[in-house]
Structure 1
Amino acid sequence: MPPHKSDPLLPLVLRATRDLTSAKNELRWLRDFVAEPQRNTGNILDNWAARRKLRQLCVERAKGKPLQYIMGTEYFGDLEIACKPGVLIPRQETAASVTHLMERLQKSKLLPEHVKLLDLCTGTGCIPLLASYELVQKYSRKGRLEAVGVDISSRALSLAERNLRRLSQDGTIQIEPPSSSLSFIRADILAEADHNPSDCVSLMTALQLYEETQKSNDPTADRKGGWNILISNPPYISPSAFNRTTTRSVKRYEPKLALVPKDADASQYPGIDPGDIFYPRLLEIARQVDARVVLFEVADLEQAGRVAAMAQQQNIWTVIEVWRDNPSQADDYGGSEQTSVATGIKVLGRGNGRSVFAYRGGAKA
């Protein structure tokens, strides 16, 4: 008898996972999810309404709906991040890059007393939330931490604020002004000027308004200097790659706005791969805000090479590296780093190409 015959709901989940072990795990998680609200009332899976609810969730999963949207959360590093349709689901590979960056910066001893971190295309807010958690709780860093997440999507910003409130209320993260702060603001990152301010202002205008608000809240504060750290997980999938290689579940359920640059935006950057158009702007923003460290997520090693080459052309970075999915792990050859033949840039870690890191300053980060 096939192993899934033991549970009539297992074939539904198996349609989405295509793997029996994964299907069994997901079904167990869904059972726990349904049971959690009423655990004190006994085994609610004997209850008809609960069984109906579980079957409904399994049907949704069978159609390809991501488990994170069904259950409403996903772990990102040590943080449980709320998820909802219309906002990109956080990925573990992104978390690995963020935690590696925070560890590396902490060990380098190069962080100033007042650290300012800017996250562009923030989505759920997972990146500045995790970065704040790593520096404040994990490393017990002294000094001030000021983080800002930016997105064009009002839905994403609402969810980011919700994540901040929830994680602060349950004590998972400790954001206590003035020693630490985390804000979320709306802006159009690609816009260099305010063409239609009533819709969405440019990033530079949004940052100016943010600085004015901070100054009015504390007139004695020193607001000089730029943003030390700039992180972004921008839309980086070209329209053709989206159609050819993106999974059905991602196409159907996750927001295309967070995955694929719009055609109208691509027209501003002739001669550049359609999936790369955010990166020249991000690098220009890094120059404008005087960022000392940047970390940009990419799709693969090929795109990483192109983005690293763009950074090289700026002639302002002391170090440029490509990080794989797990940048802190040894590569398949037993070492921790390789060199890209195409660019001469170090490639660190194990897995697929995931991020481009750059640092500028007198010492090595």
Structure 2
Amino acid sequence: MVKCTIEKLLKDGLNMIEKRDYNNPFLDVQLILSHLINKDRIYLHMNKDEEVKSDVSKKYYDMVERRNIGYPLQYMINSQEFMGLDFFVQEGVLIPRSDTEILVEKIINLVNNTELRNKTINILDIGTGSGAIALSLGYFLKNSLVTAIDISDIAIETAKINADKLGLSNVLIKKSDVFGDVKNAKSNEKYDIVVSNPPYIEKSVIENLQTEVSKYEPKLALDGGVDGLDYYRRIVEVYGFIHSDKSILSVEIGYNQKKEVLKIFEDAGIFSFIESDKDLSGNDRVVTGYLGM
């Protein structure tokens, strides 16, 4: 009987996974095996001849098969790195993307380079999902009090798990609906910074996205309505009655939505200055409006 060594499992896995536009079979099989034996990828390379237990081997082959049909690796290993932090993710929440780091870095730089750095700042993250944005801001901005809201029970559960993982006490996570509950609290809560990576995919486009997204990631976190702009309109409306005297609204956008989102911001008539930022690929990624600053 052939031994199931680390080397054999990695080779078998590579033969099983079909290369597609949105995957990296070599990295995928390493991460799956690393997860199962609780070792890092360097360990795999240094211990190729180590035999792996049969029950672990079976789980490995099962996971590789699932990955081959497009099931997201992050859901299988319950992990995704974001802003240098390790976030727990599970099916039912959007997997954090590196593009969203542009939004987080934008806010961190704004706070550290303005008068906001000298005060306690109230931040609202609308549609927090795994909590990646809210918790990263709470982690890197020690002078912040962050409220993270989502309508999804799974998102709230996931974000709370991540808050506990990171040991953050300055982030409040609660279930709330941007199309309802937030508006009802307009007289009680004011925020210096409002951020969001809202659903912004056009409804008709979702089914044409890569399998990892269209089949397995939550439609609730993707569907931005017929034109993809429903949440931007609502977020700008909500911001109009929850902002502090000097405040910022910053949102992630789709690569082709800059013109439309800028117009939504401009039509609100409340911002003294509006700007956009590109991601590392050169695509428009963030729109930010400033009020009283």
Alpha-carbon distance between aligned partners in 2 of 1:100 and 1:45, rounded to the nearest angstrom: 47
Q: What is the count of residue pairs matched by the alignment?
A: 277
Cross-structure match for 1:232: 196
Establish whether residue 189 from structure 1 lines up as the match of residue 178 from structure 2: yes
Gaps of 5+ in 2: 1-7
Cross-structure match for 2:12: 8
Shift of 1:207: 6.8
Shift of 1:205: 3.2
Equivalent residues in 2 for 1:145-224 (5 A)? 145-168=144-167, 174-175=168-169, 181-191=170-180, 202-205=181-184
Cross-structure match for 1:140: none
Establish whether residue 130 from structure 1 lines up as the match of residue 136 from structure 2: yes
Helix, strand or coil: the match of 1:229?
strand
Equivalent residues in 2 for 1:309-320 (5 A)? 309-320=263-274
Change (3 A) 1:102 1:18: closer
Alpha-carbon distance between aligned partners in 2 of 1:18 and 1:294, rounded to the nearest angstrom: 32
Q: Is the 8 A contact 1:35 1:44 kept in 2?
A: no
Establish whether residue 52 from structure 1 lines up as the match of residue 58 from structure 2: yes
Cross-structure match for 1:358: 289
Equivalent residues in 2 for 1:1-365 (5 A)? 7-15=11-19, 22-36=24-38, 45-111=51-117, 113-136=119-142, 144-168=143-167, 174-175=168-169, 181-191=170-180, 202-205=181-184, 226-244=190-208, 246-261=209-224, 274-291=227-244, 292-300=247-255, 302-326=256-280, 350-362=281-293
Q: Deviations over 1:36-74 (max 9, x none)?
A: 17x9xx987432112111111101100101111011010
Alpha-carbon distance between aligned partners in 2 of 1:204 and 1:18, rounded to the nearest angstrom: 39
Change (3 A) 1:23 1:257: same
Change (3 A) 1:206 1:110: closer
Alpha-carbon distance between aligned partners in 2 of 1:30 and 1:275, rounded to the nearest angstrom: 34
Alpha-carbon distance between aligned partners in 2 of 1:240 and 1:46, rounded to the nearest angstrom: 45
Cross-structure match for 1:338: none
Shift of 1:99: 1.6
Alpha-carbon distance between aligned partners in 1 of 2:229 and 2:206, rounded to the nearest angstrom: 13
Runs of 4+, deviation exceeding 4 Å: 15-19, 42-45
Shift of 1:17: 5.8
Q: Is the 8 A contact 1:317 1:358 kept in 2?
A: yes
Q: Deviations over 1:219-242 (max 9, x none)?
A: xxxxxx720000011111111222
Helix, strand or coil: the match of 1:321?
strand
Helix, strand or coil: the match of 2:60?
helix
Q: Is the 8 A contact 1:97 1:325 kept in 2?
A: no
Further displaced range: 148-157 or 306-315: 306-315
Shift of 1:283: 0.7
Q: Is the 8 A contact 2:35 2:77 kept in 1?
A: yes
Shift of 1:252: 0.9
Gaps of 5+ in 1: 137-143, 169-173, 176-180, 192-201, 212-224, 267-272, 327-349
Alpha-carbon distance between aligned partners in 1 of 2:120 and 2:160, rounded to the nearest angstrom: 23
Q: Is the 8 A contact 1:318 1:361 kept in 2?
A: yes
Identity of aligned residues (%): 25
Q: Is the 8 A contact 1:16 1:62 kept in 2?
A: no
Shift of 1:125: 0.9
Alpha-carbon distance between aligned partners in 2 of 1:75 and 1:46, rounded to the nearest angstrom: 27
* AA at the equivalent of 1:32: S
Q: Deviations over 1:281-339 (max 9, x none)?
A: 11111110125101111111x3121011111122221221111123xxxxxxxxxxxxx
Alpha-carbon distance between aligned partners in 2 of 1:49 and 1:132, rounded to the nearest angstrom: 40
Shift of 1:16: 5.1
Q: With the length of structure 2 as denominator, give the TM-score of the two structures.
A: 0.86
Q: Deviations over 1:181-221 (max 9, x none)?
A: 21111122123xxxxxxxxxx2233677xx6xxxxxxxxxx
Alpha-carbon distance between aligned partners in 2 of 1:309 and 1:226, rounded to the nearest angstrom: 24
Cross-structure match for 2:4: none
Q: With the length of structure 1 as denominator, give the TM-score of the two structures.
A: 0.70
